[in-house]
């Protein structure tokens, strides 16, 4: 099998299969300019990345030839090979990030075109600790960085109070899905201030210039796990320079409120909410 030449070394593409994890030979794909785009590997290979040597079964590249994503595992899920089987093969991987060394089982590591790390996607159940602009925090699912190395976003592992320009808000998204770690529910701007936060434990009062006030808080829906129970719908609050944007449900329109002449008061935790069920009935 002819190796694929890359700036990270010669890679041997997948050319055999097995009965469980790899049921078909995946093709090598190329960009229009001829550089490799997607390379499934014959065997797990150590890739020298900007954040350390990372074991990989699948790698993707930007059009300029730099790494885009590295996947330590690339098994094909089926009725005979499930997520738990694949996860059992995952090993903790040390990754040198701008937020410090993080060692965890990762589904993927992605990079910007300038080779700066873009994100980590963690296996379900993995929790890591890191320093953020609002203090030390534990994260699950994903962590992302901008191309200058600033922490861009993370998924809080548990309800965590974060300081924002409109008060302290309990950050947590019970509906967060581990598709990838590029975008998460707690987002920071280039200055390190909170730009967006998802919450199921805080409510926001807005006092208008005429003295009247509006109350925004997470709504409730029938639980995915039981028809007799209700669970909170995460509320998203985006904090801009001149506008606060609030969305209490994905099916409802967002509400934009100018910061000028308005007073914002946050309250948390909500007295009704004692526990936060995770999507998937706590699994």
**DSSP notation for 211-236:** S-EEEE---EEE-SS-TT-EEEPPEE
* pTM for this prediction: 0.89
Instruction: Report the chain's terminal Cα–Cα distance, integer Å.
Output: 42
Distance CA 225, CA 283 (A): 11
At residue 275, the pLDDT reads 47
Nearest alpha carbon to residue 189 among 151, 144, 138, 245: 151
- Are 239 and 194 contacting, i.e. CB atoms less than 8 angstroms apart? yes
Per-residue pLDDT 10s for the chain (283 aa) are 789 999 999 999 999 988 788 878 899 999 999 999 999 999 999 999 999 999 999 999 999 999 999 999 998 888 888 889 989 999 999 999 999 999 999 999 999 999 999 999 999 999 999 999 999 999 999 999 999 999 999 999 999 999 999 999 999 998 887 667 888 999 999 999 999 999 999 999 999 999 999 999 999 888 767 677 888 899 999 999 999 999 998 888 999 999 999 999 999 876 654 445 455 554 3
Query: Which residues of 31-134 form beta strands (DSSP E)?
Result: 36-49, 52-61, 67-71, 93-97, 100-104, 106-111, 117-122, 128-132
Place of tokens 């914002």: 264
Secondary structure element (H or E) that encloses residue 237, with its range = strand 235-239
At residue 169, the pLDDT reads 95
| φ/ψ (deg, to 5) at 184 | -130, 175
Domain boundaries, the chain: 4-158
């Amino acid at each position: 099998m002819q190796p694929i030449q890359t700036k990270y070394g010669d890679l041997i593409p997948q050319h055999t299969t097995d009965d469980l994890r790899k049921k078909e030979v995946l093709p090598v794909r190329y960009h229009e300019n001829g550089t490799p785009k997607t390379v499934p590997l014959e065997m797990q290979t150590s890739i020298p990345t900007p954040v350390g040597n990372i074991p990989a079964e699948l790698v993707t590249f930007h059009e300029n030839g730099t790494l885009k994503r590295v996947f330590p595992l690339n098994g094909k899920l089926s009725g005979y090979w499930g997520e738990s089987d694949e996860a059992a093969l995952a090993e903790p991987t040390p990754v040198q990030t701008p937020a410090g060394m993080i060692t965890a089982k990762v589904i993927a590591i992605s990079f910007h075109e300038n080779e700066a790390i873009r994100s980590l996607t963690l296996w379900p159940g993995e929790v890591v600790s890191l320093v953020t602009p609002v203090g030390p925090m534990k994260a699950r699912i994903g962590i992302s960085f901008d191309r200058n190395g600033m922490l861009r976003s993370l998924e809080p592992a548990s309800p965590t109070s974060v300081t924002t320009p409109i008060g302290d808000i309990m950050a947590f998204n019970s509906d967060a899905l581990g598709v990838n770690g590029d975008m998460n529910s707690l987002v920071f701007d280039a200055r390190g201030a909170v730009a967006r936060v998802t919450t199921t434990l805080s409510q926001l009062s807005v006092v208008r210039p005429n003295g009247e006030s509006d109350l925004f808080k997470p709504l409730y829906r029938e639980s995915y796990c039981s028809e007799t129970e209700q669970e909170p719908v995460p509320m998203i609050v985006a904090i801009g320079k001149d506008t606060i944007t609030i969305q209490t449900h994905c099916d409802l329109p967002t509400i934009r409120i100018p910061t000028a002449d308005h007073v914002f008061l946050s309250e948390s935790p909500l007295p009704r909410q004692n526990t936060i069920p995770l999507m998937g009935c706590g699994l």
